[in-house]
Structure 1
Amino acid sequence: MLKKILIGSAVTLMLLAGILAYMRSATKKHSPSAIAEYNMNAVKIEVKYCRPFKKNRIIFGDKITGALQPYGEYWRVGANEATIFNTSTDLKIGNNSLPKGQYALYAIPEKDTWIIAFNTEYERWGATPPDTNNDVLRVEVPSIEQNYIQEQFIITFEPNDSLINLVLNWDNVKIKLPLEPLPKAEK
């Protein structure tokens, strides 16, 4: 009897693992994985994320408009898993420093400004908001309205003098987060 229960439990666990793996791979078809990389002057920054499409939807807006990403609510900055931000060096962001390491990158969009947050809970599925007690850094940045539509979400880097802009671009919205690599001795 115990043998049947153990075999049944093992089969059930294998089925659940298979279903979960299938669901993860099936969702990536709609929002493919991508990596944005910056690698210059001994500074390496990498962002792993998934790229959803607009598909004639309202992306950012008030909840009443049916926006995919309502103002004032958590967004994983992409789709599927949490967006992973990895830096090989300490960075100055706004008036604060972000220690080198790996973080979940998320945002709270508003019409005119966004909160961008770096959180230590990077090994998780992205749909559930992280514990904000694990935020290492939060910074507010302006939202830039564009005169064109970016169909598929994209993250890029724009070097600018001593700064590196992390750029988030989707629909008619662009966000630029200035990152300043800190010298090894400065913290």
Structure 2
Amino acid sequence: MKSSMHLRFQRIVAVLVLLTSVSLTAFAQSPKKTAEGKIGSATVSIQYSSPSVKGRTIWGDLVPYDKVWRAGADAATVITTDKDLKVEGKNLPAGSYSLFVIPGKSSWTIIFNSQTGQWGIKKGGEANLDRANDVVTVTVKPVSNAMTESLTYEVDSKGIALVWEKLKVPVKIK
């Protein structure tokens, strides 16, 4: 009798472990990631949630053109620098900033906003962004790139880049 109850208990535990594992996998659709590197003597890190293409059209569809986007999934993407930088020639003081973008077909607006910690989207689909807190806004040109399934950020000596689907959006930083 004891071994029968013990076996039943083991089966119940195994089923619960399996269900928990499946549930966690289902909710981990946009894993949190960090890109980090040096730009000159500055250490720059970007914390973001990385959604995947999953057969969808991203630019102009899932992420509409000409609307503010949180530059990742879930909470707004955050970029941190320990030294002052020049972003496309504009001064960005050391600190942490929410990174928002306005994708366009031929050019993108990149926004460094001093308000961090906000959720990325308000009810109704608008970005959770108070433009009064914009510190630096620049315009850059996207370029074609090899297919990249998951949203990725790169930090290198030339600056940062958002890479996703078949697009790369480089931002020159010194």
Are the aligned partners of 1:28 and 1:80 in contact in 2 as well (CA < 8 Å)?
Answer: no
Letter of the 2:34 counterpart: I
Deviation of 1:165 (Å): 2.0
Task: After TM superposition, give the deviation of residue 41 of structure 1 in Å.
Answer: 5.9
- Where does the alignment leave 5 or more consecutive residues of structure 2 unmatched? 1-23
Pairwise CA distance, 1:89: 0.5
Report percent identity of matched pairs: 32
Larger Rg: 2
Q: Provide the TM-score with structure 2 as the length reference.
A: 0.79
Which structure ranks higher in relative contact order (CA pairs < 8 Å, sequence separation ≥ 6)?
2
Corresponding position of 1:107: 101
Secondary structure of 1:133's aligned partner: helix
Q: 1:40 to 1:133 in 2, by over 3 A?
A: closer
TM-score (norm 1): 0.73
Once the two structures are superposed, what CA deviation does each residue of 1:123-154 show, in whole Å capped at 9, x if it has no partner? 111123201111000000001122x3111110
The one-letter amino acid paired with 1:83 is T
* 1:32 alignment counterpart: 31
Residue number in structure 2 paired with 1:55:
54
**Which of 95, 98, 103 is residue 92 of structure 2 equivalent to?**
98
Alignment coverage as a number of residue pairs: 146
Larger strand percent: 1
CA distance in 2, matches of 1:137, 1:41: 19
C-alpha RMSD over aligned residues: 1.7
Cα displacement (A) at 1:120: 1.1
Structure 1 segments of 4 or more deviating over 4 A? 25-28
Given the alignment, which residue of 153, 165, 171 partners 1:155?
Answer: 153
Q: Unaligned stretches of 5+ in structure 1?
A: 1-24, 62-66, 181-187
Q: What SS does structure 2 have at the residue aligned with 1:31?
A: coil
